[in-house]
Chains A and B, each alone.
Chain A
Amino acid sequence: MIARLWRLLPGGRSLVTSIPYLWLLLFFLVPFVIVLKISFSSTVIAMPPYEPLLHWTAEKVMQIKLNLGNFAFLVEDNLYWIAYLNSIKVAAISTLFCLLIGYPIAYSIARSSPSMRNILMLLIVLPFWTSFLLRVYAWIGILKNNGLLNNFLISIGVIDQPIQMLQTDFAVYVGIVYSYLPFMILPLYANLEKMDLTLLEAAADLGCKPWQGFLKITLPLSVPGVIAGCLLVFIPAVGEFVIPSLLGDPGMLMIGKVLWTEFFNNRDWPVASAVAIALLLFLVIPIMYFQRAQDVEAGGGLHR
């Protein structure tokens, strides 16, 4: 009898697998539903500054007021389009540079001696020991007009007037590439490091010069690592707020900053929520489609 009752309780295995679901439920799904709810309400001057979606009339009838105006507003106002496209452009270019810089780094670490690898990987994650905000601030000191970089260029005689670097797009790209580079290197390294090097010997045996072996074997086999790295850089870079605020041109329109302005300056929580929901859909739908295409093509073979 007791044994039968015991069996009704969830087993250890389902307890363990439920942990990530619980986490996602608490910290992703619940906040998402709240934001979604706010995005369909309208602003009022109150605390909180939006109308509730549900309320009971005097006749005890439940009323739902859905305001689609916030989303319509996003489409009507050019500002949002420009901010979205600009954010995607900045994120895409930054991701490309992270890939171009990160791939050779990950490759050379993966091909160095095993004892060297751990030291080099430690150095890659070392910047995480300092706060992200402090590291971005440090770039102000480097890039400003009488900063380290300008002073250095003047002292070696390359330029005689300081170049305006801070508060330009250039500074934003530098900041994003610098901050997110480890997120590109880590998955790429994990992929390249586990590659079977006899495959390259086999390619050489079949007539490939070393660079041909790289193009035909290493590069195609590292595609899952490239995709993982690009997603890890691109997704946070699109919504990036701190780096453009500190290093960029104040007039530069990026969606993270628009969100901030709507939320804190305009106190328009419903529009800010709509901006956030639209951004999520913008990113999630193509990424899900892309990953599914990847899985179908790989057929599980690459992920053994």
Chain B
Amino acid sequence: MATSPRAAQQKFEPWTDPDAKPYVRIEKITKKFGDFVAVDDVTLDIYKKEIFCLLGASGCGKTTLLRMLAGFERPTSGKIYIDGVDMTLIPPYERPVNMMFQSYAIFPHMSVEQNVAFGLKQEGLRKDEISQRVNDMLNMVKLGPFGKRKPHQLSGGQRQRVALARALVKKPKLLLLDEPLAALDKKLREHTQFELINIQETLGVTFVVVTHDQEEAMTLSTRIGLMNHGEIVQVGTPDQMYEYPNSRFVSEFIGSVNMFEGRLTDDEPSFVRIACDDLEAPIYVDHGVSSAPDATVWAAIRPEKITITREKPTEADNWASAVVQDIAYMGDMSIYLLRLDSGKVVRVTQPNAYRHADDRITWDERVYLHWHATSPVVVTK
């Protein structure tokens, strides 16, 4: 690898390095339950020390894929390699992989210590080594004083950390986390997210996380794999997924977006212009698009990338006039729902940068929307 150690520290992007070897390789994996195809021909490379999030709505196949990595389901076809070894037919109890279950699956008849020591005893380690490792792990997840407690004496957050400790203490090559934060309340979830990242960085374990919560995926992951109907729709870093979605589905799933359907009227290598029935002015985008000449395209514009003004923009492109239909004050920002003359409602968010704004835009006002030529993302499917 050509990068200097310092550069590597700043940027962790093994997927951009053509020489990097994937740590987990999922190769053309398909899983059918009867006629139902849960996972459809998925190929995916995950690199060492990544936090890879499988994101998708319920029933999209993300959990099935995770369970195949753990060994609980056998793929109908395809292969799974972990650290270069074919794991496809290896049973779960012989895989160098541990899982943190959504329900935590903590053994109710054992104390916290016994739960964490369970996997180490199974390996047949010496007693003093087991208690050493259990203690270290409990301290790491801040459960040091709770070792003798029974699971029913713990809070939800503490149980979550027992489950994490029990899986991590085995020093797995790969840690699988099934909706790790779903059962926690919002404040605790935010806090735990960062704790999870810290632990992962300290131990250097590769994480694969399944979640339906796009916010969770954005904060946790090095890369996201968005799934729909058993297929991986797009793989990318959180900012790639947000700023460069490859389809309407991706841009709508991650964050909110305003979608304008239209046709290309100018199709040049350095810019395009899109005529949209909902807008008086065309959309001008400052880069080329690869699309068939007469095909329908969609311009996706994020709510925070649109500004609201009272004066009519002087430009020929990239504006619209609208009436304020609704305003939701969120504290840090406000959400405006604006109705275009065509009836389409556009969502715009504006930060509340000033405490005293006497001249705020208000309900039923006629306003103009404007966005920059770099803002729209043009997608063709």
Contacts and interface: CB of A to CB of B under 8 A. Distances in A.
Interface of A: 196, 198-199, 201-209, 212, 216-217, 220-221, 299-302, 304
B107 interface: yes
B105 A202 contact: yes
Interface string B207-250: 00000000000000000000000000000000000000000000
Contacts, number: 68
B158 to A, nearest CB: 15
A201 B167 CA distance: 13
Nearest to B116: A206
Contact of B93 (A198, A199, A205): A205
Contacts of B107: 199, 202-203, 217
B92 A205 contact: yes
A196 B92 CA distance: 18
B147 interface: no
Interface of B: prevailing SS: mixed
A62 to B, nearest CB: 55
B103 A206 contact: no
A294 to B, nearest CB: 12
A202 B118 CA distance: 10
Contacts of B91: 204
B170 interface: yes
Given A205-B98, A299-B152, A198 B103 contact: yes
A147 to B, nearest CB: 47
Interface of B: 70-72, 91-93, 97-99, 101, 103, 105-109, 118-119, 122-123, 150-153, 166-167, 170
Contact of A208 (B72, B98, B122): B122
B94 to A, nearest CB: 8
Contact of A196 (B71, B103, B109): B103
Nearest to B152: A301
Contact of A220 (B98, B103, B109, B119): B109
A221 B105 contact: no
B72 A212 contact: no
A199 B92 contact: no
B101 A198 contact: yes
B108 A207 contact: no
B92 A201 contact: yes
Given A206-B170, A221-B108, A299 B150 contact: yes
A201 B101 contact: yes
Contacts of B93: 204-209
Contacts of B97: 205
Given A205-B99, A206-B119, A199 B150 contact: no
Given A207-B123, A208-B93, A300-B152, A221 B72 contact: no
For the complex of A and B, the 9 pairs showing the least CB-CB separation, nearest first, are A206-B119, A207-B122, A202-B105, A301-B152, A198-B105, A204-B92, A205-B99, A204-B93, A220-B109
B118 A206 contact: yes
Contacts of B109: 220-221, 301-302
